[in-house]
Amino acid sequence: MSPDAITLGRRQVYILPTRNGLMFTLVLTALLLAAVNYNNGLAYLLTFLLAGVAVVSILYANRNLLRLRVAAAACPPVFAGETAYFGITLTNDHADTRLGVVIECRKHEVARVDIPARASVTVMLPVPSRARGYLDCPPFTVCTYFPLGLFRAWSRRIALAHRCLVYPRPARAEVVPPQSGSASGDRPGPAPGGDDFAGLRPFRLGDPPQHVSWKAAARGQGLHTKQFSGSGQDSVWLEWQAFAPLDGEARLSRLTRAVLDAERAGLRYGLRLPAQEFAPDSGAVHRRRCLEALALFAG
């Protein structure tokens, strides 16, 4: 298994001249010919000084990547079809800034950053996600044109143990039928669709004060409680079996939509899959566990 962080060693950094570097070689050759022809000491000195600069810039380019630590950073889950952002943390423990460090992936420049001395910079590598499940971070290279653009130093392909969880693509809202009698709570679950204001009813003890219609009270109409479709302490079961005629992926897609909607509506919801069951609950952790189960469902 690949590591979740590597430090670039001497054997992992390659270097070759760029097109500009080759052009510079031509320039040096022309300078040398002029120096020879005019037998001019200072022209020789200038030519050799620039040749020296080119040679030294190889070392600079190499050092710009050497001992650079490349580590996997956070990668928040996405829904299939969205772009996954793989965080990659570049850590520089040199006393000098590393300038112009470039992340390239599939021959495309993804990011170009300066990494200050003894600091880290996290860059995002965007990858479009297609199917649910785990999406691996594609191999990428770290390269640099530092200091003069005459040479390109690059690392060998870096494949980090870095993956992104991709949830199933949620079905569009209108295609999700109401929880067709599959809810096993006190009463059939209300139609999802958010916090639509549904009307007023007389206030009962225990109603949350923020739902009291204070406007109506102010008009002297007595205490009333605002009712929202979807509000309340109802719990619903979202069931694999409820979408029976559909194929697996379509069911997962609808269940994902149902989880999102139920969470948004503030319901307590449970999820029942062929081999797994999550008791009704709500909140970010529950939502995440449900979506994760849907993403990794193998049926």
Point out which residues bind another protein (CB under 8 A). 4-5, 18-20, 23-24, 27, 30-31, 33-53, 55-57, 59-60, 62-63, 66-67, 71-73, 89, 93-95, 97, 99-100, 104, 107, 109, 112, 114, 118, 145-150, 152
How many alpha carbons lie under 13 Å from residue 213 in its C-beta half-sphere? 20
Q: Using the 8-state DSSP alphabet, how is residue 173 labeled? A: G
- Shortest Cβ 103–another protein spacing (Å): 11
Identity of the residue, 19 or 172, whose beta carbon is nearer to another protein in the bound complex: 19
Identity of the residue, 29 or 180, whose beta carbon is nearer to another protein in the bound complex: 29
Gap between the Cα atoms of 189 and 205, Å rounded: 23
Gap between the Cα atoms of 277 and 271, Å rounded: 6
Identity of the residue, 24 or 297, whose beta carbon is nearer to another protein in the bound complex: 24
Identity of the residue, 50 or 296, whose beta carbon is nearer to another protein in the bound complex: 50
- Shortest Cβ 144–another protein spacing (Å): 9
- Shortest Cβ 159–another protein spacing (Å): 15
Identity of the residue, 56 or 173, whose beta carbon is nearer to another protein in the bound complex: 56
Give the number of residues written for the chain: 299
**Considering only CA atoms, which of 238, 230, 232 is closest in space to residue 181?**
238
Peptide bond before residue 77 is cis, with ω within 30 degrees of 0: no
Gap between the Cα atoms of 126 and 83, Å rounded: 6
- Do 281 and 268 contact (CB within 8 A), yes or no? yes
- Shortest Cβ 135–another protein spacing (Å): 19
